[in-house]
Structure 1
């Protein structure tokens, strides 16, 4: 059986690359019915992946941070700092000037 997080990457990439749905709700309903188990485990990720402004690169980056924490390559505290610093740099600092 495939690792659920690896499978999640594949499914989210598929959702992100899908251009056949114009409506986010229709897209979400389609993928929730296609992948019910995964969508039950990760409902917010599925919802976000169906949005037009979904940042797939940020998703991959955050999942890599999660993997590092799970594998004890970084503490949860240090990972949280790393995520916070990136988000501050991206969203807060540009608005300060």
Structure 2
């Protein structure tokens, strides 16, 4: 990978709320030109969820809420659309299944 970046864009990701305040993280999202494969690659940020609109911890929080509450109630609490909450819940379940697979392989 090249040490210089191709271009960047300011993005925002929803994070956990603090009291009644909704928190968003603003960051520079970079695209990097790779000389080896002659292509532009997107920077990987370990704290971002697969949908870059949310942090991983916010996605886990929504996933845990969905285990206890209905999607409709989570929508009301977090002021997200039904589709957004459902997609986050699906991503959360995929993460849990992935972790479970690692645990069961370790126990064999």
TM-score between both structures, scaled by the size of structure 1: 0.32
- Larger strand share, 1 or 2: 2
Higher helix share: 1
Which structure has more relative contact order (CA 8 Å, sep 6+)? It is 1
Q: TM-score of the superposition, structure 2-length normalised?
A: 0.30
Return the index of the structure with the highest Cα Rg. Answer: 2
